[in-house]
Structure 1
Amino acid sequence: MAISSSLDPIIAIATAPGRGGIGIVRISGTGLRPWAEALCGQALTDRHAHFLRFVDVQGEVMDEGLALFFPGPHSYTGEDVLELQGHGGPAVLQRVLQDCLARGQALGLRLAQPGEYTQRAFLNDRLDLAQAEAVADLIEASSLAAARSAMASLSGAFSAEIQALSARIVELRTLVEATLDFPEEEIDFLEKYQAAERLQGVLDHLQQVLRTARSGLVLREGLHVVLAGQPNVGKSSLLNALAGDEVAIVTPIAGTTRDRVVQAIHIEGVPLHVVDTAGLRDTDDPVERLGIARTWAEIARAQVIVHLQDARQPGDALDAAIVARLPAGTPVLDVFNKVDLLDEAAREAATQRLGGADVLMVSARSGEGLDALRRRLLQIAGWTPGSESPWLARARHVRALEMAQGHLVQAAGHAAQSDQVLDLFAEELRLAHEALGEITGEFSSDDLLGRIFSSFCIGK
């Protein structure tokens, strides 16, 4: 979807599809008051609820409910907004919608595209781009922690950090540009204005924001965790234990799991997408071989791999072969299951042999060690249990922050050279500033905006 430049008034059903107690038809446009009052058959006081009957062009009553008029620019979109709140039956809402479209033909009233209300709020400076994205994140939040963080983003917490970083970069850019106009002072610039120290302060601040953004990205999108290991080491049992439900079939027969089983769970409000996979071994069974091929495909996509092993026989040749094939750069947790089947002496011996206190020894059957496993997964995700929820972030936000960081590092490199080249220093600062501006929409292409708003639901 390309970003819309049309100023036509728009209309949509703003409530979710299906039956409900209340349904809302929302209309937004410029100069709507005369048409809205004619539609409602009475004068409308700003931001007051008016109880009335919704009557069609033939004079037949379609429904009864509330009409609210929000004059621009003090509305969600920054334009005049009329909301008709009636009963939530699909047939009733469609009838009201179609009647409004018929009556609004002279105005050019049309159906809204997905996300077009929020798009207009952005274009009319009611929200910046990060806040606009937070609207969708708040709607889609799957946990209380995610909802709180989305609300923090919508309230401007993330945007305020970006604006503070941008202001510090602009201050440095101003000093550099002024110095470039007076070449005789160029040599003394860095020392005179403590530019290197200021730049390091910006880098430190950006690093802090980037850490929080990565944590917010995990809170929004979750962590892709793959359970891998030999057959019959308890992968399905571990998935059931983490999920608190019997989501995977468990039998004593090796190779029971032939295809992946995905279950979403939450730990401290952080969503984890845990994937149970087929056991890894050599086999002539064509169905099992297909399942094993899919297991390796899941492992290649994993953000975290839990290599599950039998605590009674750890480190055998097949486990070593599995480790050798795991992708480099992906965090791997070595977890030893069935510790409940070991007596105290065997448990102590296994712990010492495997590396001491840092070994994750668990029992999917009894639940022993599962809290430690959950803590370790959160640690890998960069999440601190019990900490204040950060604002939410998206992958594009993290990429933009990483780009800005790269340009600032390049600028610091120019500052450290004996033959300081201020025009290159200034260019890296400019690029860093533009990278940050992509987050809030200060520097954004129409194509990017179209992709963002097209992911919204209709009516928002």
Structure 2
Amino acid sequence: MHARHLDPIAAIATAPGRGAVGMVRISGRALEPFVQAFFGRSLTPRHAHYLPFADAQGQPIDQGLALFFPAPHSYTGEDVLELQAHGGPVVLQLLQARCLEVAQDALPRLRLAEPGEFTERAFLNDKVDLAQAEAIADLIDASTEAAARSAGRSLSGAFSQEIHALRDALVHLRMLVEATLDFPEEDIDFLRASDAQGQLIRLQQHLAQVMQRARQGALLRDGITVVIAGQPNAGKSSLLNALAGAELAIVTPIAGTTRDKVQQTIQIKGVPLHVIDTAGLRESNDEVERIGIARAWEEIERADAVLLLHDLTRQHDADYRANDAVITETLQDRLPAGVPVIDVWNKCDAEGEPGALLPSATDHLQLRLSAHTGQGLDALRQQLLTLAGWQPAAEGVHIARARHIAALREVDAHVEQATALLQLPAPALDLLAEELRLAQNALNTITGEFGADDLLGVIFSSFCIGK
């Protein structure tokens, strides 16, 4: 534990701005002398006390609630004092400054907390594991109800329990292999009698289930970025407005109306989709429009999926088809491998008698819709969910992060290698033991049984001050 973790810390623990209630939080070891100096009296643990908060001259800063939580029964596992006052920023700053002033004599080394330091201490004091600590930040940042509920499940320990179950299975297998190494003359018979291969297969099956739920949780947390691209006047801005259910982008019959990207996050069945409307793709002598088109290609290259919008009313126009072909060819050159493209044919309400689409030179999925009437939008939403990898029947999804997915993939690779080794007629038990050890190490990084300090620093630095 670093020396800084021994310092008492203080912070305004509510969001910036005005509100009905605000909080200043202090955490540290042996806060009783500070409490006595601040209020001139002690506080009953875990009881709300309505008290005046006075400055150095005894003049009132505010009146509010003071709550004292002695260690270890607190959020951080240390002594914690929470001062709840009216939520004006000036009031809270005065209250925080008064805490630092009192601490000069009563609580030396009290300092302002760094981002996420309260939760970091909760982790270091075994109040939460690393996955639960991250779930706190994800719960705060959740942009959809489904993401919030999934983060709540992770915070309650559902994800950690899955990881611990996998770890216990790995530990048991390691025990069998390590024991076998001590008695080499009985190695194969001992492993077969213990059904080591069956245990490994069951571990793989459980791991696959955890990985699937984790991928769904990561999708709820991060969503996907969808870029709407196409020629001018194909209806890109109208489609963004239709998907968002609001007039976000200006829509006119004038080609080139959209000069810069317009972005909106929407949710479909709880999955956040970051939809970006871009400038129409064409040759232009207008410098401002050219900048907008360059930015459009930058967004397209960063997309998780692209909606290539076409105008049904112009599908028989030779020049229009030629320009579409150029855009499609450029997409194939500039898009990273594996990024899906959907050909969306818009304005089906204005097409007259529905006819067959002209043959496409690509294997893109083809959809008809009307951004004006909403016809076909539900099919597009469902297709976007499919592209994202969302499975509606998924239950018990817990929030997950990219690092969790990477760690689980590493575990899977080591378990796969261990399975291959065990299937050999004369398995190299030392290599088998090493693969299982590496799998357990990768698994442990998720819950933080051990981990490098720089990993902890990156994780907790993304938290807000006071949390």
TM-score (norm 1): 0.93
The Cα offsets for residues 220-240 of structure 1, whole Å up to 9 and x where unpaired, read as 112100112222221111011
Please name the residue that 2:49 is paired with.
50
CA spacing shift, 1:36–1:160, aligned 2, 3 Å: same
Pair 190,257 (structure 1): closer, same or farther in 2 beyond 3 Å: farther
Supply the distance in 1 between the matched residues of 2:55 and 2:254 (Cα, whole angstroms). Answer: 67
2:198 is paired with a residue whose SS is: helix
Q: How does 1:270-285 map to 2 (within 5 A)?
A: 270-285=271-286
The letter for the 1-side match of 2:167 is S
Distance 2:378 2:358 in 1: 18
Is residue 2:101 matched to residue 1:102? Answer: yes
Alignment partner, residue 124 of structure 2:
123
The reply on whether 1:20 has 2:25 as its aligned counterpart is no
Mark the CA change 1:424 to 1:390 in structure 2 (over 3 Å): closer, same or farther.
Answer: same
The one-letter code of the counterpart of 2:463 is F
Do structure 1's residue 329 and structure 2's residue 338 form an aligned pair?
yes
Match of 1:219 in 2: 220
CA contact (8 A) 2:10 2:24 kept: yes
**Count of aligned positions:** 456
Structure 2 equivalent of residue 89 of structure 1: 88
AA aligned to 1:456 is: F
Residues 37-89 of structure 1, C-alpha deviations (whole Å, 9 max, x = no match): 33222231111111111223322222211111111111000011111111122
Structure 2 residue ranges without an equivalent (≥5)? none
Asked if structure 2 preserves the Cα contact closer than 8 Å seen for 1:334 and 1:359, the reply is yes
Given that residues 176 and 191 in structure 2 are in contact (C-alpha distance below 8 angstroms), is that contact kept between their aligned partners in structure 1?
no
- C-alpha distance in 2, partners of 1:449/1:99? 31
- Aligned pairs for 1:24-173 (under 5 A) are 24-106=23-105, 107-108=107-108, 109-173=110-174
Aligned-pair identity in percent equals 61
Residue type of the alignment partner of 1:421: A
Q: 1:148–1:389: 8 Å Cα contact kept in structure 2?
A: no
Letter in 2 for 1:343: G
Deviating more after overlay: 379-388 vs 253-262: 379-388
Shift of 1:445: 0.6
Q: What is the CA-CA distance between 1:351 and the residue it aligns to?
A: 8.9
Distance 1:316 1:415 in 2: 58
Secondary structure of the residue aligned to 1:220 is helix
Specify whether residues 229 and 211 from structure 1 end up closer, same or farther in structure 2 by C-alpha distance, changes over 3 A only.
Answer: same
Match of 2:429 in 1: 422
Unmatched tracts of structure 1, length 5 or more: none
Over the aligned positions, Cα root-mean-square deviation in angstroms equals 2.3
Change (3 A) 1:15 1:432: same
Deviations 1:66-118 (CA, angstroms, capped at 9, x unpaired) = 11111111100001111111112222222221121111124221111111110
- Look up the match of 1:318: 323
For 1:256 and 1:59, locate their aligned partners in 2 and report how far apart those are by CA, in whole Å.
Answer: 63
- In the alignment, which of 432, 445, 460 is matched to residue 439 of structure 2? 432
Q: SS of 1:170's equivalent? A: helix
- TM-score (normalised: structure 2): 0.92
Give the equivalent residue in structure 1 for 2:388. Answer: 381
SS of 1:104's equivalent? helix
2: distance between equivalents of 1:148 and 1:216?
10
Report deviation, 1:253. 2.5
